[in-house]
Amino acid sequence: MGLKNKKMEDSIAKKWRQLSGENHWKGLLDPLDIDLRRYMIHYGEMAQAAYDAFNTEKASKYAGSSRYAKTDFFSKVCLENGNPFKYSVTKFLYATSKIDLPDAFIIKSFSREAWSRESNWIGYVAVATDEGKAVLGRRDIVIAWRGTVQTLEWVNDLEFILVPAPKVFGNNTDPKVHQGWYSIYTSEDPRSPFNKTSARNQVLSEVSRLVEKYKNEEISITVTGHSLGAAVATLNAVDIVANGYNKPTDPYLKACPVTAIVFASPRVGDINFEKVFSGYKDLKTIRVRNELDIVPNYPLIGYSDVGEELKIDTRKSMYLKSPGNPSSWHNLEAYLHGVAGTQGSRGGFKLEVNRDIALVNKTLDGLKDEYLIPVSWRVVQNKGMVQQPDGSWKLMDHEDDDF
C-alpha cells in the first residue's frame, strides 16, 4: 500500500465522527475536505452497487432480483480492487407497495415462472470486516437502498400525497411524509415469500441483530441511497433513531450515531417532519444535489429539505459533454465524479480524488468522445446467455441465495 493511501486511511479512522456529521460538517463543505470527498464517494459506491447488481432484464424469470449472491457481492460489483473499505453483505432487502406506483418502481418479469410477482430486491445491509474496521475507525453498519432504474418520467407520474407515518412516529401524527416512499418502506404482501414482512421490518431486525452482536465495539450506522433510494434511506435513518434501533438492549450501553449520506434525493416530508428529524441528536444527514438535477426539487410544494446540503455542478467538469441532459444530471456515477472534483464557491473543477472518469460512462453517454470510453459500457456478458455443452444457449443470470 502506498504511503499516500496509508495516510488517508489513518486520517479517516481518526476523524470518522466529524466525517459522519458530528458537527453538521461544519468547516468541511466549502472547500470540500479531501477525506470527506473520499468518504462520500465510498458511500455513493455502496448505493451504486445496488444498481449494478439489479436484474432489469424482463425476459428473465429473475427480473427485479439481485444477480449476485451475498457471499462475494462486492467483488461482483467491482468494489474490491483498490478499495480499502472492506464490508460483507449480511442481508438482502425486498420491497413491495400497497399503492399503485409508476412502472419504474417495481420491475416485473415476462415469465410465468417469475421468482416473484409482487416484490423487488431493493438493497442490502452490510457490515465492515475487521480489515474495514481498521480503516474506518469503527464497526460500520451500512444500509444501501436502490433507486429507480428507468428514465425520469416517474417524477411526473407520481402523486405527491402527504400522509402520517405511524410505523415510524407512533401516535405523533404531526410529521407527514410522502405516501409513495412510505408505502415502499412499510408495505408487506402475504402472497410474496419475500415480503411477508415489509422492507422496514427486514432492515430493522437486521440492524438490531448487528447492533447487539457488536455492542462491545464502537459502531456506527450509515444509510445511503440515490433518487428514490435516497428518500427511503432518509425515512429509514429517522426510523432507526426514533425507535431506538441504534441502541443495544443493555441499558448501560449508549446509542450509536446514525448518518444518512444521500444523493439526488427528492423531498421526503413536510415542515413537521423536518422539525422532528432535526430534533434527534444521534441523527445526521447530508444531501448531495447537482445544480441542474430536477429530482431534488420534487415535490415542489408542501415539503421541506432535511439536514445539510452539498451542492455540486457537473457542468463545470471539463471531462463531460456540455451541458449534459436530465439523465446525466441525475446519474449517480456522474454525481460521484462531481464530488471528486467540485471546487465549491471557488468555482471551476479539479479531480482531487483519483477517481476513474471511465465510471461516468458506465450507464451513460456522458464523457467527451476524446476520452475513448465506450458509451454505457457496463453490460453483463451476452446479457446472461450462456452456451451449453450441446451448443444451445440458456439464460443463466442469477446466483442462488435467498431462493
Give 1-26 pLDDT, tens digit per residue. Answer: 455 566 776 899 999 999 999 999 99
List the catalytic residue out of 227, 265, 317, 328: 227
- Given a cut of 60, whether residue 353 has pLDDT beyond it is yes
Name residue, grid cell 451449453.
Answer: 388
108: how many CB neighbours lie within 10 A of its CB?
A: 14
Average pLDDT in the 233-254 region? Answer: 96
Query: Does 293 participate in catalysis according to the annotation?
Result: yes
| Contacts with 131 (C-beta within 8 Å, 6 or more apart), sequence order | 86
Instruction: Look at residue 5 in the predicted model and tell me its pLDDT.
Output: 65
Instruction: Look at residue 59 in the predicted model and tell me its pLDDT.
Output: 95
Return the amino acid letter for 94. Y
Peptide bond before 175: cis, by omega within 30 degrees of 0?
A: no
Instruction: Look at residue 10 in the predicted model and tell me its pLDDT.
Output: 83
Whether residue 313 contacts residue 342, with contact meaning beta carbons closer than 8 Å, is answered with yes
pTM of the full structure: 0.96
User: Which ranges of 88-178 does DSSP label H, i.e. alpha helix?
Assistant: 130-136, 154-157, 166-169
Q: What is the Cα–Cα distance from 5 to 12, expressed in whole angstroms?
A: 11
List the catalytic residue out of 42, 178, 226, 330: 330
Q: Which helix (H) or strand (E) holds 43?
A: helix 34-52
Instruction: Look at residue 102 in the predicted model and tell me its pLDDT.
Output: 73
Q: Tell me the pLDDT tens digit for each residue of 167-206.
A: 999 999 999 999 999 999 999 999 899 999 999 999 999 9
**DSSP secondary structure code for residue 259 in this structure:** E
List the catalytic residue out of 33, 35, 239, 293: 293
| Contacts with 273 (C-beta within 8 Å, 6 or more apart), sequence order | 165, 175, 176, 177, 304, 306
Query: Does 398 participate in catalysis according to the annotation?
Result: no
Q: What is the mean pLDDT of the chain?
A: 94
**Start-to-end CA span in the chain (Å):** 39
Whether residue 57 contacts residue 383, with contact meaning beta carbons closer than 8 Å, is answered with yes
Nearest CA to 142 out of 256, 24, 222 is that of 222
- Given a cut of 90, whether residue 148 has pLDDT beyond it is no
Query: Does 397 participate in catalysis according to the annotation?
Result: no
β-strand partners of 308 = 286
Average pLDDT in the 359-386 region? Answer: 96
Name residue, grid cell 415476462.
Answer: 110
Q: What is the Cα–Cα distance from 227 to 180, expressed in whole angstroms?
A: 13
218: how many CB neighbours lie within 10 A of its CB?
A: 14
* Cell output for 42: 465510498
Average pLDDT in the 78-88 region? Answer: 96
